[in-house]
Amino acid sequence: GEQCEYVRQYRCAIESFSIRSTICVCPLTRFGPTCRVPHDPCETKTNTEFICANNGTCLPDDPRVHGQYICICPLGFQSTRCDKPALGTRITINESISFAAILVYFVRFYKRLDVPL
């Protein structure tokens, strides 16, 4: 009140810590003035689909931005949600080559997968 007659207990949630007893610093999984509101940017509303596709691992990115995450993609996948195949090149020669022969390969790289075959 005006005369400071009210004492307010400003307690932060257990998972957080307080600065000068009025500011709560929240962990990645909570937000709000006392860090009591659950927040998981990797959890979907329906739980029927995953944020990261193809068994990618979702990690909260910036705790100050609501809904931000990064996906750690498994081998063979890329993009922000691991939903695109990773592009790569593998050249294998299964036969021995004589030094007298000249071997010429033409390799063309594409940025997207919808390339002419």
Residue 21 is predicted with a pLDDT of 74
Give CA–CA dist 103/87, Å, rounded.
25
Q: What is the mean pLDDT of residues 112-117?
A: 52
Q: In the predicted model, is pLDDT for residue 46 greater than 80?
A: no
Looking at the chain, the whole-number percentage of residues with pLDDT higher than 90 is 10
Residue 36: closest CA among 12, 68, 70:
12
Q: In the predicted model, is pLDDT for residue 10 greater than 60?
A: yes
CB 68 within 8 A of CB 62: yes
| Banded model confidence at residue 48, pLDDT cuts 50, 70, 90 | low
**Residue-range domain boundaries for the chain:** 1-39, 41-86
| Banded model confidence at residue 88, pLDDT cuts 50, 70, 90 | confident
Residue 56 is predicted with a pLDDT of 92
For residue 49, the SS3 value is: coil
> What mean pLDDT value characterizes the chain?
76
Tell me the sheet residues that pair with 77.
85
CB 63: neighbour CB atoms within 10 A?
16
Residue 41 is predicted with a pLDDT of 75
CATH number of 41-86: 2.10.25.10
